[in-house]
Structure 1
Amino acid sequence: MKTTKKLGIYMDHSTAELIEFSDASKETKTVCSDFNIQDKHETLQRSESEMHNKEQHSQKTYFKQLATSVLEFDQVVLFGPTEAKTELIHFLRQDHKFEKIGIELLTTDKLTQNQQHAFVRDYFKKFDVKFL
């Protein structure tokens, strides 16, 4: 029987915490967007259009980094307090490579790292049905 690889991604527009669900140690990989508030202020002083273009380019790069990680898994839960998770799933659905990956979106409050791990554990545990 094939082992299903499961991933939880707690994200907003600037960072994403990738939490693999497994019986092994709970390590979190962090992916950060390279567009920050300082960049926004600097480019906004020159031009709103330039700021918007830079922000879109940075977001696309950020989503590509996350997409590369998602390809390694069979089931993914995207969760967090912002709409970034919705934007990511729209980005992923544009590519047919992600059709066979089960992806679900859930809105949560802001969570600590321990709460994120507990959320991923509890989410995937409800699918682990053991037959005798």
Structure 2
Amino acid sequence: MKATRRVGIWLDHTTARVIAYNTEELKATTLKSDLRGLDNQEGLQHSESLLQHKENQKLKAFYKAIIAIIKDYDEILLFGPTGAKVELFNLIREEHKYDNLKIETKSAKKMSPPEEHAFVVNHFKTVLNYESPFIK
């Protein structure tokens, strides 16, 4: 029987931290979006719709980089303070090859890496205990 692979991802529109579920040690990968590159100078030179289009392209590329990582997992927790988690969830659900992934979203404040790790561990421990009361 194949072991279930679990991961938590704290994200907003500029940063994602991919935290592999591990009860003992914190293992995380940080991804940054390229949205910070859109500054006011560029805004003076281009129309608002062009900037919005560029921002959407960069955000979609950011989400695709996250999807490239999570495709190796079975259960995914998306959490964070912004709507980015729901945007990513919807993008994943558009691709039917990921229909077998169990994905949950939760709101969460900005956290330190140890707090993020604890959040992921607590979430999956709760899920595991709920699914099987015999797991300790």
TM-score by length of 1: 0.91
Determine the structure 1 residue equivalent to 2:110. Answer: 110
**C-alpha contact 2:80 2:108 (8 A) present in aligned 1:** yes
* CA distance in structure 2 between the aligned counterparts of 1:120 and 1:108, rounded to whole angstroms: 11
Shift of 1:128: 2.7
Determine the structure 2 residue equivalent to 1:53. Answer: 53
| 1:20-39 correspondence runs (5 A) | 20-23=20-23, 25-36=25-36, 38-39=37-38
SS at match of 2:77: strand
- Does residue 7 (structure 1) correspond to residue 12 (structure 2)? The answer is no
Q: Let me know the Cα RMSD of the aligned residues.
A: 1.6
Runs (5+) with no aligned partner, structure 2:
none
Determine the structure 2 residue equivalent to 1:92. Answer: 92
Equivalenced residue count is 131
- Kindly provide the amino acid, as one letter, of the partner of residue 17 in structure 1: R
SS at match of 1:128: helix
**1:40-97 deviation line (CA, Å, top 9, x unaligned):** 4233212212211110110110010011111000000000000000111111111011
Shift of 1:24: 5.8
* CA distance in structure 1 between the aligned counterparts of 2:24 and 2:99, rounded to whole angstroms: 27
Determine the structure 2 residue equivalent to 1:17. Answer: 17
Runs (5+) with no aligned partner, structure 1:
none
* CA distance in structure 2 between the aligned counterparts of 1:123 and 1:23, rounded to whole angstroms: 11
**1:3-43 deviation line (CA, Å, top 9, x unaligned):** 1000000000000000000256321100110121x514233
* CA distance in structure 1 between the aligned counterparts of 2:24 and 2:116, rounded to whole angstroms: 16
**C-alpha contact 1:44 1:50 (8 A) present in aligned 2:** no
